[in-house]
Amino acid sequence: MVSIDAITAIANKELMDRLRSRWVVVIAIAFALFTLAISYFGSAPSGIAGFRRLDATLASLTSLVTYFIPILALTLGGAIIIDERDRGTLDLFLSSPISFIDFLSGKFTGLLAAFAISTLAGLGISGIIIIINTGIGAVKGYLFFMFNSLLFGLVFLSLSFLISVLFEERSRVIAFTIFLWLFLAVLYDLGLVGLLIVTKGGLSNILFSILLLMNPVDIYRILNFLSLGESTVFLGLASVEFPPLMKAPLLWAISFVWVVLPMMASHYLFRRRYLK
């Protein structure tokens, strides 16, 4: 049976550990500085520096987040099981009345809280400055961007827990984390572009949509472009028009599935490996 008290206690400990280590503060400051730098200097190559329209700003920020948040979330939870085992506390948890569901759920909730605080604080502080300089009309679009970014990070935090359960050696966790980040953030889209070139654009909309939905990075990109009223998404070095069935509620639902499935797999593998 799930114990809310146990989950809350474990989550509070994880959050307090991140707060004491200054992890939350450092990441929040990094988010704020990167966001402001891209917003202000994004048009510097054209000889102009300053805050731009929200659509141009969010397009640049989307590129930042697609690289920054996945590696951040993956490293945050990727070694969670290994760290507990190295400290000798994993056996203590497993021998206590706490269930494995309580253990993993508490860990996930605590790390999610730390990630959410740092992300929302960093993007929120920079967002206030951007909105002051670009106008109050930018509020809605920026709030959607913040929500999409948080959900995007949640997906990769869930994947990090699956990685943590899959591998027992820290070196393998690090290697697979880098590979997964590189594959989803860069190589997957290059593969799609190559497929479009090989088929000479003859790929059906349904198949192309399915391929896009198989990558949470593309889902995040499309969500942000939809909030700007755009009908194209950048894949690698190409700009591709996405099918009309791509709507925000569908993409949010698919993102939620991306969160749930890895966590379900983590619970199953954790029980098989450590509760024999």
- Domain spans of the chain, in order of start: 4-266
pLDDT of residue 134: 73
In sequence order, what are the beta bridge partners of 238? 235
pLDDT of residue 226: 79
Cβ–Cβ under 8 Å, residues 14 and 107: yes
pLDDT, tens digit, for every residue of 23-50? 788 888 888 888 888 777 765 555 555 6
Scan for tokens 């709507």, then name that residue. 247
Where the chain has pLDDT below 50, the residues are: 236-238
* H or E element that contains 97: none
Taking a C-beta distance cutoff of 8 angstroms, is the pair 26, 19 a contact?
no
Token pair recorded at residue 214: 């198989």
pLDDT at 230: 56
pLDDT at residue 237 in the model: 42
Residues 6 or more apart whose Cβ sits within 8 Å of residue 97 = none
Residue found under tokens 């809605």? 140
Query: Using the 8-state DSSP alphabet, how is residue 88 labeled?
Result: T
269-to-125, 175, 216, 257 alpha-carbon distances in Å: 39, 20, 22, 18
- The alpha carbon torsion through 84, 85, 87, 93 (nearest 10 deg) reads 60
pLDDT of residue 48: 58
89-116, pLDDT tens digit by residue? Answer: 777 777 777 777 888 888 899 999 999 9
pLDDT for res 38:
79
Task: Determine the pLDDT at residue 191.
Answer: 87
pLDDT, residue 89, reads 77
Q: What are phi and psi of 235, to 5 degrees?
A: -120, 110
Residue 193: per-residue pLDDT: 80
Per-residue pLDDT tens over the stretch 159-184: 999 998 888 888 888 899 999 999 99
